Structure 1
Amino acid sequence: MSRPEPGTAAVDAALARRMIEIRRHLHRNPELSNAERETQAYLKQALEEAGLGPVRPVAGFGLAVDIVGTAGPSNRKVVIRADIDALPIVEMSGEPFTSEKPGVMHACGHDAHAAMGYAAAILLDRRRQSFSGTVRLIFQPAEEAEPLGGRRVVAEGLLDDVDAAIGIHVDPYTPTGRIAVGAGPYTLACDIFDVVVTGNSAHAARPSDGIDAIAVACSMVTELQKIVAREIDPYDPLVISVTGIEGGGAYNVIAAEARLKGTIRSGHEETRQKAWRRLRQVLEGVAATHGATVAVDLQRGEPPVVNAPEMVELVRQAGRAIVGPDNVLSAPGWTAADDFAFYSEKCPSVYFRLGIRNEAAGAIHPLHHPQFRIDEAALPQGAAVLCATAESFLKTME
């Protein structure tokens, strides 16, 4: 891997140690979406101790801090976004700094995103004299669950005076030392659904006296899979996943009610609308076939992230300088969703992936896995690319 070019932002050893310390503290003390009180307080203290400010609370349990360049007058602004929330997962990673909160884990790498955001802020503060304009760091809560923090960031006007936005996500499918980015749609839209199936209770020895809500729900799960498999063009991305099923309570009683929940991921609005329509039709049809009834609650979530070509090129330029040309991948997007999409709806944006896969370090598991690990050697590179991309954007506008 090549060394950063002269004049390029680089994370020194002391800052790297502090970044890792912050990441491990957050990993040890994860908090779920819309409950990031301690995370907010900890990051605020870390930023203020580093001399940054004013650090203001935003979007509930988020933070924002502006770093103003001194190279000359400019009204240009660019956002760097780092999400900070964790997931309801029991950690099994074996890390010495494993979660101390039962059932909560940073299994998506947002602890690393927050730490890289911190390091990027320090780098930019050190390099104020090299750029004009403002970099706004947003440490955003609630990326993982409704009500989404990205939507609230927009509603609070934090992007109203912003010209561009930059987001990063750790990528366990790409080796450490590489970054991946591409123009156009880069994640899928995400919606969630809740379903209540109502039948009639009966003695388990006489199921014919009732309508088994669990059996109906199981048929629904099977039939929903056919929407993607048999009704959608294979080149048109759509994923429908049932992620929870609950019903019954006794060994000898036919369940009168069962509940399903799940998610719809789509790449195009037309397909999104079709999926909603067909999901309702399939569920209502299966319920009617079995003499049951069904109630469906479908919530619209984030749209797809769309990467602006000119912002993608800035990331590529920064990546070539920091990790070397051969380690900058022109990679397609992924089927995950991210509420950074609300930023990309508001202004030209780029969302790039930082490789953190390293078999020797045990960083081989996918996102949202209880054994998920991060190769921390990648984090200085991610912070440097964030800094260099923001700085390059402001310089192109001078």
Structure 2
Amino acid sequence: MSRPDETGMAMDAALEGRMIDIRRHLHRHPELSNEERETQAYLRQALVEAGFATVRPIAGFGLAVDIVGTAGPSNRKVVIRADIDALPITEASGVPFASLRSGVMHACGHDAHAAMGYAAAVLLDAQRESFSGTVRLIFQPAEEAEPLGGRRVIEEGLLDDVDAAIGIHVDPYTPAGRIAVGAGPYTLACDNFDVIVTGNSAHAAKPSDGVDAIAVACSMVTELQKIVAREIDPYDPLVVSVTGIEGGGAYNVIAPEVRLKGTIRSGREETRQKAWERLRQIFEGIAAAHGAHVAVDIRRGEPAVVNDPEMVDIVQRAGAAIVGRDNVQTAPGWTAADDFAFYSEKCPSVYFRLGIRNADIDAVYPLHHPKFSIDETALPKGAMVLAEAARAFLAKPR
């Protein structure tokens, strides 16, 4: 049993076991973004069995449940977000509850996020008399891929009456059970691009008769890196990555077309706009210089998560109560993206990290790795910090 902390928050052995069972079930049966039909049904049943009478579907294959405190009348509301989708990755973790679906894996910890969200809901439901106002649990689909679930949550008005939001993410680099959080920008904005480079085919023995789309595309990939290396302040975060290149076929034919794809990650809107402009200029300029044609499609994704200082303070105090002050660290953000950013645009929000690294294991496998794994001893701590942070927010005077 997780012992009570100074706030009275505690998790008994039965709830901890149920949380782990839920996490392992979801891990065995992962579903991709916008396909989480079975995940939605399973979590709904788990919540109903725990005594939640009103669990409503949202954002496609998501769920929402409201927990209303009875300590007094209040319109104050706070959201806890738990994402639920998996990734198109073939698992190689070796755990006994590994994915049963070929090519799909919970390699980003969303199975753990959903399980902690469930446990936090049960904890808060048992302590309704200790707070006023409402905690809204959102089990959100499609964090990993478009159309993004976070955007749909906002479009459906699920945060229109909400005063604040709390999100959690497991962190494989931080020791299990520690909390990492900081104020200000905490993830990067994420945009994707697709490029079609069109040249002219020719015999490979006489490339001068054509325009080699592969050679043109390779020049583009090389030149893109100079945007970050030579045009952006080193303290202004920007990452430009080409993640796919496809073209050509026969050994003796100059490729007439090449397709590129990639991602742009940025911390500031001004830098985001500059990156878009410079990408287009580089693609179009190199194509023109080689006598090729280019079509560029850049799609705006989620913005950067920005942590509200007061919400950070609430999580830090909740973390200190649950795991001890020495296990709460002020930490910089990630260059990864998260569509919790749509929540942070809508209301004061905090996105914190829960360490899940096992100290006895030397290898650290990052998020989105086939061998990614979680030290499950951290999960009760994450669930209790979520619950205590939500309760502490509702205790604040408006």
Tell me the amino acid that sits aligned with residue 59 of structure 2.
A
For residues 335 and 60 of structure 2, the distance between their equivalents in structure 1, rounded to whole angstroms, comes to 28
| Structure 1 residue 369, shift from structure 2 partner | 1.0
| Structure 1 residue 7, shift from structure 2 partner | 3.7
Tell me the amino acid that sits aligned with residue 284 of structure 2.
E
For residues 394 and 8 of structure 1, the distance between their equivalents in structure 2, rounded to whole angstroms, comes to 16
**Is residue 363–residue 375 contact of structure 1 (8 Å, CA) maintained in 2?**
no
* Structure 2 equivalent of residue 284 of structure 1: 284
For residues 70 and 338 of structure 2, the distance between their equivalents in structure 1, rounded to whole angstroms, comes to 33
* Structure 1 equivalent of residue 220 of structure 2: 220
For residues 262 and 58 of structure 2, the distance between their equivalents in structure 1, rounded to whole angstroms, comes to 29
Tell me the amino acid that sits aligned with residue 40 of structure 2.
Q
Matched, 1:369 2:376: no
* Structure 2 equivalent of residue 268 of structure 1: 268
* Structure 2 equivalent of residue 169 of structure 1: 169
* Structure 1 equivalent of residue 100 of structure 2: 100
Tell me the amino acid that sits aligned with residue 146 of structure 2.
E
For residues 164 and 362 of structure 1, the distance between their equivalents in structure 2, rounded to whole angstroms, comes to 38
Q: Deviations over 1:272-312 (max 9, x none)?
A: 10000000001111111211111110011111111111111
| Structure 1 residue 90, shift from structure 2 partner | 1.5
* Structure 2 equivalent of residue 347 of structure 1: 347
Q: Secondary structure at the match of 1:253?
A: coil
Q: Secondary structure at the match of 1:138?
A: strand
For residues 53 and 208 of structure 2, the distance between their equivalents in structure 1, rounded to whole angstroms, comes to 69
* Structure 2 equivalent of residue 68 of structure 1: 68
Q: Deviations over 1:84-140 (max 9, x none)?
A: 111111111111111111111111111110010011011011111111111000000
Unaligned runs of 5+ in 2: none
* Structure 1 equivalent of residue 331 of structure 2: 331
For residues 28 and 69 of structure 2, the distance between their equivalents in structure 1, rounded to whole angstroms, comes to 34
For residues 327 and 345 of structure 1, the distance between their equivalents in structure 2, rounded to whole angstroms, comes to 29
TM (norm. structure 1) is 0.97
* Structure 2 equivalent of residue 129 of structure 1: 129
Tell me the amino acid that sits aligned with residue 303 of structure 1.
P
* Structure 2 equivalent of residue 388 of structure 1: 388
| Structure 1 residue 222, shift from structure 2 partner | 0.8
Q: Deviations over 1:304-353 (max 9, x none)?
A: 11111111111011100110000000111111111111101111111000
TM (norm. structure 2) is 0.97
Matches within 5 A, 1:131-150: 131-150=131-150
Unaligned runs of 5+ in 1: none
For residues 98 and 203 of structure 2, the distance between their equivalents in structure 1, rounded to whole angstroms, comes to 46
Q: Deviations over 1:194-253 (max 9, x none)?
A: 111111112223322221212211111111011100111101100001111111222332
* Structure 1 equivalent of residue 258 of structure 2: 258
* Structure 2 equivalent of residue 26 of structure 1: 26
For residues 275 and 263 of structure 1, the distance between their equivalents in structure 2, rounded to whole angstroms, comes to 11
| Structure 1 residue 359, shift from structure 2 partner | 4.3
**Is residue 8–residue 388 contact of structure 1 (8 Å, CA) maintained in 2?**
no
Q: Secondary structure at the match of 1:360?
A: coil
| Structure 1 residue 71, shift from structure 2 partner | 1.2
Q: How many residues matched?
A: 397
* Structure 2 equivalent of residue 120 of structure 1: 120
* Structure 2 equivalent of residue 296 of structure 1: 296
Runs in 1 of length 4+ with deviation above 3 angstroms? none
CA root-mean-square deviation: 1.4
For residues 19 and 259 of structure 1, the distance between their equivalents in structure 2, rounded to whole angstroms, comes to 44
Q: Secondary structure at the match of 1:334?
A: coil
* Structure 1 equivalent of residue 360 of structure 2: 360
